[in-house]
Amino acid sequence: MAAERIGIVGVPPLAVIRELQAGKYRIIDLDEPQVHMAIDLSAQFLPKVYCAVLRTVVLNAMYLDLDRLYIDVGPGKCDCALHVATILEEILDIPVIRTRNLDDRPFGVNICRTRMPLFDKFMAITRGIQADQSSAPLPPCTPTAGFWGVPPRDFSILTLFPDTTHIYGWTRCMENKTPANLGLEMHVNPSVPTVFFAQSFCAKTALAHHLSRLHPRALYLDCDVTAGNSARAKIEAFLELSGVGDNTGMA
- For the entire predicted model, the pTM comes to 0.92
Strand partners, 29: 8
Question: Rounded distance, CA 161 to CA 163, Å?
Answer: 7
Domain closes at, from 99, 125, 145: 99
pLDDT in tens, 89-114: 999 999 999 999 999 999 999 999 99
Banded model confidence at residue 70, pLDDT cuts 50, 70, 90: very high
Check pLDDT > 80 for residue 245. no
**Helix count and strand count (H, E) for the chain:** 9, 8
Same domain membership, residue 133 and residue 93:
no
Q: Are residues 65 and 119 in the same domain?
A: no
Residue 248: the pLDDT is 39
Q: Is residue 105 part of a domain?
A: no
Query: What span, in angstroms and rounded, lies between the C-alpha atoms of 170 and 130?
Result: 17
Greater pLDDT, 118 or 247 = 118
**Are 122 and 233 found together in one domain?**
yes
Residue 199 and residue 86 share a domain: no
Name the DSSP class of 155.
G
Domain count of the fold of the chain: 2
Q: Please state, rounded to an integer, the average pLDDT across all residues of the chain.
A: 93
Residue 87, Cβ neighbours under 10 Å: how many? 17
Pairwise pLDDT comparison (24 vs 148), residue with the higher score: 148
Residue-level pLDDT at 251 = 27
Residue 249 lies in a domain: no
What digits encode the pLDDT tens for the residues 195-232?
A: 999 988 888 999 999 999 999 999 999 998 888 899 99
Q: Do 120 and 218 have their domain in common? A: yes
pLDDT for position 129: 93
Is residue 233 predicted with pLDDT exceeding 60? Answer: yes
Q: Is the predicted pLDDT of residue 247 greater than 70, yes or no?
A: no
Give me the CATH number covering residue 58.
Answer: 3.40.50.11890
Per-residue confidence band for 246, with pLDDT thresholds at 50, 70 and 90 = low
Same domain, 202 and 231: yes
Residues 128 and 19 in one domain: no
Mean pLDDT of 165-185: 97
* Own/partner long-range contacts of 16-19 (Cβ < 8 Å, ≥24 apart): 16/70, 16/99, 17/129, 17/130, 17/131, 17/132, 18/132
- Quote the domain boundaries for residue 30: 5-99
Query: Given this model, what pLDDT does residue 136 score?
Result: 86
